[in-house]
Structure 1
Amino acid sequence: MKTKYGYLTYCSNIHPGESWSDHFLHLKSHLPKIHQSVSPEAPMGLGLRLSNEASLELMDPEVMAEWKDWLNKEGIYVFLINGFPYGGFHETVVKENVYRPDWATKERFDYTLRLFSILSELLPDGMEGGVSTPPLSYFYFDSNEFLRKERILSATEQIVNVAIHLIQMKLDRGQILHLDIEPEPDGILGNVKLWVEWFLSDFLPMVVPRIKTMLGVDRKVAEQMARDHIRICLDACHAAVSFEDNKSILSLLAEHSIQVGRIQISSALKINFLKGTNSLLDLVSSFDEPTYLHQVLIQSEDKTLESFPDLPQAIQNGKKQSVEWRIHFHVPVFLESYGLLSSTQKEVLELLNLQKQTKFTNALEVETYTWGVLPKEVQMPVSESIIRELQWVQSVLEDKNK
């Protein structure tokens, strides 16, 4: 829904269904109730998650027509698509497979262009639209730096081709569509600083000459075109896990004129060992589940950081000299604590308040997708969960004191 500070939505990756028919059934079951609760008097936007399988089905004109007809009747529109997970995302072991196929493959390229074709069909007139995507690849796919550099080169070439495609779509249809590349711990672009370094040192030097040659424009115009179509997806959970400071992030992005395609509003799990209890590791073990990657960054007393690719390795390492753990586990944004454990809700509030001050993006997407694997005591029905998440964000945006 439209707010003073941007379009607020949630990502449908919370709903299962890898085929389009299955996912559509879940959307029809939940979306009308959510819409009625959070935006009864106005149309509601949706961040649509489409698997590769679902995207292929939705390219059928009859299937697309049915979906558009339902959206129009319900007063719902699509302006964001989540293109990070290509394949299975529910009731299966995902872990590092969420990065497969990565940006070094034709499969990822074809899938992403298909998502942009679908988004172009669904996007309301006058709106910009974005597709989110992984940070090139997973760091540990490569055993050495030479192989990793080769993968980065291949991935960058593919993203350059996406940028060229989106520029042509803008010229043909007048729509501004952008690829929102999402930094995540242990991704090749694991944090915002690494993302910016890649954008300036790898992407722009490769894409700008291509645009100049294709369109006969000068360097300044070509670079601005590239910047319009390749943006950063700023996930509040991922930034918090990496102990990144929100003000510093936004300052860095502003310094280099990098656009934020969307904020993904989500909290990470946090453990403060200064509380001095020996039961904290036992408590966090209840969040150790086999479906998703739960990267852990640990801060010691001297502010140095140690990282672990998943929660079991961090638990095995033990408390040692830890002051604070940050865990990649998308916990509800409206909850500040879970008994002795807590969340990075403070960091989410800070980011939303910075958005209220400067409005550095026009898209706000709640992305808590782990309800089904949370400990039972903090689970609740899916529709109620989404409604409470959106209402909490609405209250933050509307309250001058928060």
Structure 2
Amino acid sequence: MTVLSYCTNVHPAEDLDGILDQLDRYAGPVRAELGADRLGVGLWLAAPVAEALAHDRAARTRLRAELSARGLAVVTLNAFPYGGFHDQVVKHRVYRPRWTDPRRLRYTANCAVVLADLLAEDAGFGSISTLPLGWREPWSPSDDTIARLALDELTQTLREVSARHGRPIRLAVEPEPGCVLDTVADAVGWLAGRVDPAHVGLCLDTCHLAVSFADPEQTVARIRAAGLDVVKVQASAALHVAEPASQPVRAALAGFAEPRYLHQVRERAEDGGVLAADDLPEALAALPAAGPWRVHFHVPLHAAPPAPLSATTDVLTSATAAALSTSDQPPHVEVETYTWPVLPSSPEGGTDLVAGIAAELRWAETHLVAQGARP
């Protein structure tokens, strides 16, 4: 079975003391709220703290002890955001540095070293999710070659770290709308036959999957048929908009058009094609709104967004069930609602955020644990 975690990229700390403080303020109380002996946390370590930990074994030992003392277990890291993930404006900056930049390779290699020393004792492997190469433009054939060489170098690092520690550390490439690897089909086409599947596979973010309007079960089957694994599932839900031309709907959507993160939108056209906008304000201004929309805005799993909007939790449950039932080595499952601070009715304080994360994890236990995940 696979471990269920929640991703700490919802918290802004970018140094070790700040991370420990936020584990005390949030992760520990979430565990207590759930009445659990142990809580899985998918750590987000900004590049400076990952580098410091990678070069200081004593600091890694301290962090492992601090996690254990709080009843927290780590099997996965989120190495998609490099840093500044809670700046006032993030938008396209989250896709930098790209996989053509040596800093991305160094950061991910540092995360591998750190994760190997933090892995829970009963973890079969560790996973690290990463961005889908970069934003789609500019991207040239030479960029493609550089990125492939960088992933080859990282794979060698993963082999060496895995051999030293006796358990695999695996990279999970996460397709996202608007990026070089926009869809799972793009990622499979780029990775299949070119990477070592023992160390490189996919991160299936179920919000991103829903936005692309892809069929979840067929998507997982495509991954498996290509000889690749779903290494990690990011359990997340997108906004679904059945009637985007309706004025009440557009008024409700306006509350989600916030300035920090990019909220890509896709519209299902009458002919079955998909129309694209890179952000919600652009979609409201330019898309024809003749068919349903999906919006890249991670909404809490347990609470439906305000009517007349809805959430794609059906895609989440179908994709997770398919990934868990068809994998020889079940993927890690991580609840990743990093958007709590920018929701139209965001939690005002730590207690509310604790309650919200705990409620999401309860929902995940009810709807996903029965399919093979465990807290």
TM-score, scaled to structure 2: 0.92
Structure 1 residue corresponding to 2:192, chosen from 197, 200, 204: 200
1:311-350 matches, cutoff 5 A = 311-318=280-287, 320-350=288-318
Matched positions, count: 366
Contact 2:236 2:336 in 1 (8 A): yes
Alignment map for 1:2-401 (pairs within 5 Å): 5-38=1-34, 40=36, 42-59=37-54, 60-125=56-121, 127=123, 128-140=125-137, 142=138, 147-200=139-192, 203-204=194-195, 226-273=196-243, 277-318=246-287, 320-355=288-323, 357-358=325-326, 361-376=330-345, 381-397=352-368
Q: Which amino acid aligns with 1:171?
A: A
Preserved CA contact (<8 Å) 1:138 1:186:
yes
- CA shift in 2, pair 1:178/1:291, >3 Å: same
CA shift in 2, pair 1:239/1:398, >3 Å: closer
Q: For 1:152 and 1:39, locate their aligned partners in 2 and report how far apart those are by CA, in whole Å.
A: 48
Q: Distance in 1 between matches of 2:214 and 2:299?
A: 18
Determine the C-alpha separation between the residues in 2 that align with 1:29 and 1:9. Answer: 17
* 1:352/1:396 contact within 8 Å kept: no
- Residue 45 of structure 1: SS of its match in structure 2? strand
If asked which structure has higher relative contact order (CA below 8 Å, sep 6+), I would say: 2
Residue aligned with 2:89, SS: coil
| Unmatched 5+ stretches in structure 2 | none
How far the C-alpha of 1:340 sits from its partner, in A, is 0.6
**SS of 1:154 mapped into structure 2:** helix
2:92, 2:353 → 1: CA distance? 25
How far apart are the structure 1 equivalents of 2:241 and 2:163?
Answer: 50
Q: Distance in 2 between matches of 1:353 and 1:250?
A: 10
Question: Aligned partners of 1:56 and 1:164: how far apart in 2?
Answer: 19
Percent pairwise identity: 31
CA separation of 1:195 and 1:398: change in aligned 2, threshold 3 A: closer
Q: Is the 8 A contact 2:235 2:336 kept in 1?
A: yes
Equivalent position amino acid for 1:281 in 2: R
* Structure 1 runs not aligned, ≥5 long: 205-225
Aligned-partner Cα distance in 1 for 2:31–2:50: 24
3-state SS of the aligned residue for 1:288? coil
Evaluate the alpha carbon distance shift between residue 174 and residue 263 of structure 1 in structure 2; reply closer, same or farther with a 3 A threshold.
same
Counterpart of 1:387, as a letter, is A
Deviations 1:198-234 (A, max 9, x none): 0126x34xxxxxxxxxxxxxxxxxxxxx111001000
The secondary structure found in structure 2 opposite 1:269 is: strand
The structure with more helix, counted as a fraction of residues: 1
C-alpha displacement at 1:45, in angstroms? Answer: 2.0
Return the index of the structure with the highest Cα Rg.
1
Comparing 374-383 and 291-300, the one that deviates more:
374-383
Q: Deviations over 1:121-159 (max 9, x none)?
A: 11134520011100011102x1xxxx5221111111100
Equivalent AA in structure 1 for residue 266 of structure 2? L
Distance change (3 Å), C-alpha of 1:55 and 1:262: same
